Structure 1
Amino acid sequence: MKHYIIAFLTIFTILTTSCRNDFDFEPNVGNLKFSRDTIYLDTVFTTIGSSTYTLKVYNKSDKNISIPNLRLGKGESSKYRLMVDGMPGKVFENVELLAKDSMFIFIEVTADVADANPGDFLYTDQIQFGNNSEFQTVELVTLIQDAYFIFPQRTLNPDDTYTYESLTLGLDEEGNPITIQGQFLDSADPDNGNELHWTNEKPYVIYGYTAVPPNETLVVDAGARIHFHAESGLIVANNASLHVEGDYSTTEALENEVIFEGDRLEPSFSDVPGQWGTIWFTQGSTNNIISNLTIKNATVGMLIEGNDGTTSPTIDMKNVQIYDCSNVGVLARTGNIVGKNMVVNNCGQASIACTLGGSYDFTHCTFANYWPIPKQYCVVINDYLETSDQTIVEPLVKADFKNCILYGSPNLSLSIDKQGNGPDINDPNFNYSFDSSLIKFVDLSHIYSSHPLYQFTGANYTNCLIATNSTNNRPDFKDPNNNELIIGEDSSARGLANSSYATFNDILNNQRNSTVGFDSGAYNWIIFE
């Protein structure tokens, strides 16, 4: 029996000693390690919250410790917010951390430009670890941008819900109005002033869909920055116009380029598709003139529904770039478009879709598609639209591609689909042509070898180079996955262009002439830096 008592006391001593080591915490100051000594929360707009950032805190000692105070330097008045061990707050006491262990701290910020330093618009604070007289710090830094905010007004209902201002898009099959949350731009808005003139003084942030009223024109100055929140966009309504007056830039800051993109400014969001809706040109919008515009991260970069009924182009574009759209870069239905020096890349379905007939004239354009899953097209052309109860067919007046590049990761960069009167190549209501263009069309299974629309000879294809495999007739793009589509020295597009169409400088304002050569696509060849 005595042996059992001794064994019991021995085990008890071991267990109690172990428990005391595991759960006794000593106050500790000054011995923590951090994953970063400064956290930059990137740029945020006034009153818009940031993404969540992470700091990892390490206890590399052999002892369990208790941090007397873990707090933001500005205390409860700080615009930063912390999450420590699953608890939100700004000041924490006696935060425990086991030996050889670590913990995560999550950080967010929502601040006004008035909170920032007047000189550099930085809002700063620090996380302090220790006590009132001795502590370690991790610095927090955020750039706050002021902006014009355009959003639908809301009305409080008796049941404490809100009714938001909305736009009527038309009627459904039962005659009921189709609405979308949004508002018309106002030339004398009490907060923003003239909303029909977007300047480069400070960015614009759009919530919901904002629309150009009928018989009005939205003018966008060179250097303007427009940011769209999720599920938002711009509508150019019947008899309304959009004039984007961007210009060539001389620095990497793109000081004269107009940029439409999402409102998440963190670098990790720079190439994320589908962050906002679209620029929507409804039936009857007219006299749209767009120069030096970049559209990024939309669902559909431009949605063009119809035309204004005249022979003049409804949309005249020059030096337009569209990248990283989750569906289509340019989706046109019976559109009337002229495009010069356009570059479109990385779109989930097609870079440009000329559908339901229409009139299209593209010169020196680069329509690429390097979407990660290569089942997309660079260019889609058709003359019909299938609805739930019928197929609508409209004449394809023309779809002309002169001195262009159609190339991407899919084998087939081009899709031509003719519904009206079957695949008659001489149908006067289905006119398309490619001149001096580089086209990727790798028909591995020879499905299209006898298809009349893909013979790449005759009047529909003049002086074109067809890339029939992955090694010949390559464009030699600089870095297409990152939307750098400048052609290289070994590009098959070099010297391919028809000089009679090369009457304007390239998208970087480089000359096209007999000395430097005439290259197909939006970029004339230059030496890569």
Structure 2
Amino acid sequence: MKFSLRNLSLISILVLIFLSCKKESFTNNRDAILRTDVDTLHFDTVFTTTGSTSQVFKIFNTNNKGIKLNSVRLAGGGASPFHINVDGTTGPEANNIEIAAGDSAYVFVTLKIDPSATPLPFLVQDSVELSYNGNTSWVQLDGYGRNAHFLRNTNITANTTWTNDLPYVILEKLTVSTGITLSILEGCQVFMHANAPFIVNGTLKVNGDKYDSTRVIFTGDRLDAPYRDFPASFPGLIFTETSTNNIINYGIIKNAYQGIVAVETNGSTKLTLNETIIDNAYDAGIFGIHTSIKAHNLLISNCGKNILLVNGGTYNFTHCTVASYSNNFIQHKEPLAILTDYLKENNSLTIQSLNAQFTNCIFWAQSGGLVKNEILIDKQGSNATVNFENVLCPSVPSNATVSGNVIHDDPLFENISVSDNLYNFRLKENSPAINKGSDAGVSNDLDGKPRPVGLPDLGAYEKQ
């Protein structure tokens, strides 16, 4: 027993010596320097009140002894629009942060900006000060704030017009009531939160114009990299059974889960799309369910399913470009266009008449062999007609009607670079689509530039 107690005493002494050594393993030598992995954190545009994602920088201790930071603090203190979290400690200042030899600490930074009267993006700045062993170093912070009209779970119950004085940020949901018209004027930007569908029970009239600054944009509200390029950033635009007489002129709908969903028809055209772009929708660019859509100079690009039209309906697409390339966000593994005259739900089959007309259109994709037929027509009934007049596509289904020019060659788009996320679907000088259309009564193209009276080009863009 005495021997065991003696051993226990020795062990206790060794533990104390070890702990004492550990306690003395921090240095206050001013020559022991900490470094950070960045000298500046840049934040992309942040809407007032909604806040941003966190960015982070690391503090590295490459010395052979630990260092205690007296403080990590925001120079602007509690009034700063920036907020920090240092290894779990939140607040404008964190004290007595220990970084062991060869270790590091994380500093998370977020930006939240209070509203102001400034309509344009404005710059906000601050810095994080690191203080230790008589040394001081800084990491600079900057970002742009932007005011907006914030609409949370809003139901529009009177005829309303939006102007482009400030962007519109939609949170949770926006609904246009039955019998009500929402008009959106040129240059408006509509930013949708991830949980915010744009539901139209009444009528939506979008009146953009041909210039980049005057088009009307619908996209997600995450403007910071890399989220600003992600598909499925918001649910999309939904036109319900009661919605009527909708029109989108010079609109851009990008990064949605489903770009446009249109349900049922009421005897007239439910939705007209003129000079409009639908891009990077995760599921479907256009999803029509027994509805009526008319479109010209429409570009649908890089969507999971660019065009999905089910359970019949009436459709007229003129001078449209439908294109898809597998990229970092969406793999092209579904046909560019899927049309059916039926809908099967819960073992119940509904068949409706289908009438679809495609005139002077381009369908092209690069799938790496994943898609056998880029246009799929599936008919269950006897009252289904799909016509293609002057078309460039890999192949036309045998159960479609074809007339005019049918071209199976590469359309030679101006510039496609998947690695750079660059897609220019205008035509090169030697494109086989040039002068292969017929006069369909469309006097301009997607850029608002004129088309010739005689032989226009196929697709949404006219080679000038």
Q: TM-score under structure 2 normalisation?
A: 0.87
Per the alignment, residue 379 of structure 2 pairs with 418
Q: Is contact 1:369–1:376 with CA below 8 Å preserved after alignment?
A: no
Given the alignment of the two structures, is residue 403 of structure 1 paired with residue 360 of structure 2, yes or no? Answer: yes
Matches of 1:261 and 1:120, distance apart in 2: 18
Secondary structure of the equivalent of 2:399? Answer: helix
Number of equivalences: 442
Structure 2 residue aligned with 1:200: 164
Return the offset for 1:255: 1.0
Indicate how the Cα distance of structure 1 residues 118 and 208 shifts in structure 2: closer, same or farther if over 3 A, else same. Answer: closer
More divergent stretch after superposition (124-133 vs 399-408): 124-133
Conserved in 2, the CA contact under 8 Å of 1:30 and 1:135?
A: no
1:106 equivalenced with 2:43 (yes/no): no
Residues 378 and 414, structure 1, Cα contact 8 Å, conserved in 2? yes
Q: Which moved more, 1:129-138 or 1:94-103?
A: 129-138
Unmatched segments (≥5 aa) in structure 2:
1-9
Q: How far is 1:362 from its partner?
A: 0.8
Q: Is the CA contact 1:30–1:136 (under 8 Å) kept in the aligned structure 2?
A: no
Aligned to 1:69: 71
Is the 2:258–2:281 Cα contact (8 Å) retained in structure 1? yes
Q: Does 1:41 align with 2:43?
A: yes
Preserved contact between residue 174 and residue 199 of structure 2 (Cα < 8 Å): yes
Q: Specify the SS of the correspondent of 1:270.
A: helix
Structure 2 residue identity aligned to 1:520: L
Partner of 2:188: 224
- For 1:273-312, list aligned pairs within 5 A: 273-310=231-268
Match of residue 209, structure 1, among 143, 160, 173: 173
| Cα distance in 2 for residues equivalent to 1:22 and 1:260 | 59
How far did 1:73 drift?
A: 0.9
Q: Shift of residue 39 of structure 1?
A: 0.9
C-alpha change, 1:336 and 1:118, in structure 2 (3 Å) is closer
Letter matched to residue 431 of structure 1: T
Q: Is the 8 A contact 2:51 2:113 kept in 1?
A: yes
Q: Is the 8 A contact 1:59 1:99 kept in 2?
A: yes
Deviates more, 1:123-132 or 1:385-394: 123-132
Q: Does 1:438 align with 2:438?
A: no
Task: Return the alpha-carbon distance in structure 1 between the equivalents of residues 100 and 306 of structure 2.
Answer: 54
Show CA shifts across 1:301-321 (max 9, x none): 1110012223xx221211111
* Root-mean-square deviation over aligned CA pairs: 3.0
Contact kept in structure 2, 1:305 and 1:334, CA below 8 Å: yes
What's the CA shift for 1:406? 0.7
CA separation in 1, counterparts of 2:139 and 2:302? 39
* Equivalent residue number for residue 184 of structure 1: 155
Q: Measure the CA separation in 1 of the matches of 2:119 and 2:448.
A: 37
Pairwise CA distance, 1:222: 0.4
Q: Percent identity?
A: 30
* 3-state SS of 1:494 partner: coil
> Which letter maps to 2:387?
S
Question: How far, CA to CA, are the matches of 2:345 and 2:120 in structure 1?
Answer: 57
Cα distance, 1:420 vs. partner?
0.4
- Measure, in 2, the Cα distance between the counterparts of 1:343 and 1:38: 39
CA distance in 2, matches of 1:510, 1:118: 31
Deviation at 1:437, TM superposition (A): 1.1
Decide which structure has greater strand share. Answer: 2
Within 5 Å, which residues of 2 pair with 1:7-156?
19=21, 23-26=25-28, 28=30, 31-114=33-116, 121-130=122-131, 135-152=136-153
Q: Which residue of 1 aligns with 2:457?
A: 519
Unpaired runs of 5+ residues, structure 1, are 1-7, 153-182, 188-193, 422-428, 443-450, 467-471
Q: Distance in 2 between matches of 1:480 and 1:495?
A: 26
Greater mean alpha carbon deviation, residues 276-285 or residues 57-66? 57-66
1:480 and 1:367, CA in 2 relative to 1: closer, same or farther beyond 3 A? farther
Instruction: Determine whether 1:493 maps to 2:433.
Output: yes
TM-score normalized by the length of structure 1: 0.77
**Contact 1:29 1:135 (C-alpha < 8 Å) held by counterparts:** no
CA distance in 2 between partners of 1:111 and 1:358 (Å)? 47
CA distance in 2, matches of 1:224, 1:417: 39
CA contact (8 A) 2:46 2:144 kept: yes
